[in-house]
Amino acid sequence: MRTMQPMSPPNRSFALALAAAAALAACSSAPPARVRTVQIDRTTYGIAHITAPDYEGIGYGFAYAHAQDDLCLMADRLLTLRGERTRYLGAQGTAHISLNQLSNPRVDLFIRAHMDDAVLESAASAWSPDLQAAVRGYVAGYNRYLQNAVEAGTVPESCRGKPWLQPMTVGDVRRGVENTMILGSLGAFADAVLDADPPARQRGHASVDAPTPDGAAAELARDRFNSNPEGAAYGSNGWAFGRNATPDGHGVLLGNPHFPWSGPDRFWEVHLTIPGTLDVMGASGGMLPVVLIGFNRDVAWTHTVSTGQRFTLYELTLDPADPTVYLVDGQRRKMTARTVALPAGAEGSRPISKVFYDSEWGPIVAMPKAGLGWTASHAYALHDANTLNMRAGDTWMRMARAHDVGELRAAMGNQGLPWVNTIAADRQGNAMYADLSVVPDVSAAMLESCAPSPAAAALFDRAGLAVLDGSRSACAWSRDAAATQPGIIAARRMPVLVTPDWVQNSNDSYWLSNPDVPPATGISPLVGPVGTVQGLRTRSAIQEIRGRLAGSDGLAGDRMGPSELRSVIFRDRNFAGELVMDDLVAACKAADALLSRDAREGCRVLSAWDRTDDAGSAGAPLFREFWRKARGIPNVWRVPFDPGRPVATPSGLAMDRRATRDAVFQALAEAVALVRAAGFAPDVALGVPQSRVVHGHRVALHGGTEFEGVLNKLEAEGQQAIDAGGYRVDFGSSYLQVVTFDERGPLAQAILTYGQSGEPGSEHAYDQLPLFAAKHWQSLPFHPEDVEAQRIGQPLRLEY
């Protein structure tokens, strides 16, 4: 694929670069030049309200305001998208592609191998005129702010004077969209693409086949992005309640995405208004001037990462004489080899290059530990349904104008949403769960008829990785004429539930979106499993909802209104603790005289623990470290999974089995020693090690991990256990919104845990974290009079 040309060298005039970018943005389809004005208002916590007469103005004001808050983060994203990190930052640094943290050279090589500007431009030609105008304005607005900041000397310190601080182009936006689309597919396997090399030759023959696949490695491969029971960074809770479940008959929605707290994937709060055309508020991210999770006057929505697969792997049967030749229907096909080289860095470092291999089924990948190595007989290709999916921007633009969940569903009909479910509620009291994401059209029958070698075929049941036989053209994805894109499942064959009752999703499949409603039938296994063990967050969510609607959860009444919903999500129940602590306490009492000192101390602390992950919960860190160890003990559950009781099972600790009991007490003793070694007492309150300094003040944080089943999820990516620094939370609950409606429009309260700005010196960096810690919510100003009441400073008016 063609790669982007290197950026202008640092000694070129910044003004010339900016002028060139402006010329590129001003395409021939632009309307005649006329003076128009966009207004930017800021309200409490720096929330941006953009008002413009058209979509170009919306894009212009959006980018200008976002750059005010996050210029250096945005510029850093551009550096990644251009494949120029090594050139400007050196080979020693790292960056993320999806959840992969890779060295700068590997990031640059992957980007340069994948991004083809001519192909992306062709795909983006299908953008609606409104989206094209918004993107055109977005580029111009960013460049306007960049120029202003450079001239005024107000560029933040983290990127001030850097040669990589360059103007944006429309091509950058296309690359940004593509990078977001492949987060759950090719991007998640970037390192596997980079690791794919033909087998070494010995005595003229290719190397022997790979060993038997390792199940844990296969699961790790699957869990790079989603469907991860142990807590991938990208997850969410989404709940919607209809008129049968709410106090006044209006819909109520909870949005609780779990995303990184730093870097380019941070959310940013914004309100977009085109009088008479658009009025939408919520959170955005990426490089499109749209609201991703939010609400308008009549409907509110959120997204959760879906279990649907965005790709399939193909097992290629190789020519024994040449491992770069594969067979399809008995015919030899030569792989395409393409050398990608990085330009020399500023310090004159050695050139770096890599040969990438492609097939008609997609790029070649290699994951030997999962049994997917490139060997003498087989190679594996990844066919990605979201590559060149440029439809998402128009999807979100249409969703912003919907008047109810029916129109919202129709807005998603172009199948642009890449890897998320949608949960929504409207003013009329309808609730909706919909997985209308992009999934390859592969049926259960096709998985069987197109099974590859037995070891590769077993990866679907073992780890959720679908591998098809690439030696037969009949194993290409099915083509439904009703699908927006050839080879994906048509929207009419994806699971959707609209109900006056309630729906929920916490990153498990559509199966239990409402367990009282039979799931849709005839759904492809690639959309999600049915009848399997559910994640602890899913089980906790269903129990919380059922308890609330039964009036048995300790709150008043038996309806889920916004105040009840805000209370429930911050109850911080530790579902794993609720499942196992009764058995542990009983076993502690029975075996007290036989226990080690540390195990006895652990029993004392956890017997008094309140089974929550509240900041003041004494013993919560000890349970976390205990359960981190104990959950993997063989046969640890007393009651095994029962598909007829998926919310209640598995449960309990099998303490009547001696081997299990001994292992559990050993895990407890080790957890006590670990917490002590980190410098904390075994009964330390969670908010001591789980805290963050904000503007000179330490803020204690409530919330727990995925494996504990805490709905209000907080995680420390890559941290294996508590240490002397405590828990360094860096992802989890990010933008939280609870929305309902009255006769005037939406009533929304929200928290952006890490604040509007990613710049450490900004007043809006983590300024909402104390709000989160106190379990207080910010009322979002949607109506003009509310914006006026919360306004900070004077409006900024820009001509464009």
What is the predicted pLDDT for the residue at 685? Answer: 98
Task: Show Cβ contacts of residue 403 under 8 Å, excluding neighbours closer than 6 positions.
Answer: 298, 299, 426
Instruction: Please indicate whether residue 231 or residue 474 has the higher confidence score (pLDDT).
Output: 474
Average of pLDDT values for 421-428?
98
Alpha carbon distance 461, 469 (integer Å)? 16
Question: Is the pLDDT score of 771 beyond 50?
Answer: yes
Alpha carbon distance 210, 318 (integer Å)? 14
What is the predicted pLDDT for the residue at 200? Answer: 81
Domain with CATH 1.10.1400.10 in the chain: 532-733
Instruction: Please indicate whether residue 228 or residue 202 has the higher confidence score (pLDDT).
Output: 228
CA distances from 486 to 359, 385, 479, 490 (A): 18, 9, 5, 9
> pLDDT tens for residues 658-673?
999 999 999 999 999 9
Tokens of 526: 């690639």
Alpha carbon distance 469, 315 (integer Å)? 5
Tell me which H or E stretch contains 381. strand 378-384
First to last CA, the chain: 35
Question: Is the pLDDT score of 18 beyond 90?
Answer: no
pLDDT range class, residue 6, cuts 50, 70, 90 = very low
pLDDT range class, residue 343, cuts 50, 70, 90 = confident
Tokens of 270: 């914004």
Average of pLDDT values for 6-25?
49
- List b or e across 640-667, with b for residues whose CB sees 16 or more CB atoms inside 10 angstroms: ebeeeebeebbbbbbbebeebbebbbbb
Alpha carbon distance 708, 165 (integer Å)? 42
Task: Show Cβ contacts of residue 478 under 8 Å, excluding neighbours closer than 6 positions.
Answer: 441, 442, 443, 446, 487
Between 5-14, 91-100, 411-420, the lowest mean confidence (pLDDT) is in 5-14
pTM for the model:
0.94
Provide DSSP, 457-489: HHHHHHHS--EEETT-GGGSPP--TTSSSTTB-
pLDDT range class, residue 329, cuts 50, 70, 90 = very high
pLDDT range class, residue 205, cuts 50, 70, 90 = very low
Which 8-state DSSP code applies to residue 361? T
Tokens of 768: 């909402």
Fold of 201-224+311-384+444-474: Penicillin G acylase, beta-roll domain (2.30.120)
Tell me which H or E stretch contains 718. none
Question: Is the pLDDT score of 226 beyond 70?
Answer: no
Instruction: Please indicate whether residue 359 or residue 7 has the higher confidence score (pLDDT).
Output: 359
Alpha carbon distance 220, 228 (integer Å)? 9
Question: Is the pLDDT score of 15 beyond 80?
Answer: no
What is the predicted pLDDT for the residue at 265? Answer: 87
Average pLDDT over the chain, rounded to an integer: 93
What is the predicted pLDDT for the residue at 217? Answer: 53
What is the predicted pLDDT for the residue at 520? Answer: 95
Instruction: Please indicate whether residue 344 or residue 312 has the higher confidence score (pLDDT).
Output: 312
Burial class (CB in 10 A: 0-12, 13-18, 19+), 23: exposed
What is the predicted pLDDT for the residue at 264? Answer: 86
pLDDT range class, residue 368, cuts 50, 70, 90 = very high
> pLDDT tens for residues 176-192?
999 999 999 999 999 99
Residue among 185, 236, 513, 617 flagged as catalytic: 236
Query: CB-hemisphere CA count at 13 Å for 16?
Result: 7
Taking alpha carbons only, the member of 591, 576, 601, 592 closest to residue 683 is 601
Are the beta carbons of 260 and 253 closer than 8 angstroms?
no
Alpha carbon distance 38, 289 (integer Å)? 14
Alpha carbon distance 39, 57 (integer Å)? 9
What percent of the chain is helix, strand and coil (3-state, nearest 5)? 35, 25, 45
Are the beta carbons of 585 and 552 closer than 8 angstroms?
no
Tokens of 5: 């040309």
Task: Show Cβ contacts of residue 285 under 8 Å, excluding neighbours closer than 6 positions.
Answer: 259, 265, 266, 267, 268, 292
Instruction: Report CA torsion sign: 303, 307, 309, 313.
Output: positive
Average of pLDDT values for 778-782?
98
What is the predicted pLDDT for the residue at 348? Answer: 54
pLDDT range class, residue 234, cuts 50, 70, 90 = confident
531: left (phi over 0), alpha (psi -120 to 50) or beta: left
> pLDDT tens for residues 506-550?
999 999 999 999 999 999 999 999 999 999 999 999 999 999 999
Residue type, 329: D
What is the predicted pLDDT for the residue at 14? Answer: 58
CATH node for 532-733: 1.10.1400.10
Domain with CATH 2.30.120.10 in the chain: 201-224+311-384+444-474
Are the beta carbons of 497 and 279 closer than 8 angstroms?
no
What is the predicted pLDDT for the residue at 233? Answer: 58
Tell me which H or E stretch contains 142. helix 129-152
236 is catalytic: yes
CA dihedral 360, 361, 367, 369 (to 10 degrees): -120
Alpha carbon distance 459, 455 (integer Å)? 7
- List b or e across 117-131, with b for residues whose CB sees 16 or more CB atoms inside 10 angstroms: beebeebbeebeebb
> pLDDT tens for residues 580-607?
999 999 999 999 999 999 999 999 999 9
* Other CB atoms within 10 Å distance of the CB of residue 28: 4
> pLDDT tens for residues 138-191?
999 999 999 999 999 999 999 999 999 999 999 999 999 999 999 999 999 999
pLDDT range class, residue 12, cuts 50, 70, 90 = very low
Question: Is the pLDDT score of 9 beyond 50?
Answer: no
The CA-based angle 26-275-140, given to 5 degrees, is 20
Quickly list H helices, 153-286. 170-181, 190-194, 215-222
pLDDT range class, residue 221, cuts 50, 70, 90 = low
Average of pLDDT values for 216-235?
55
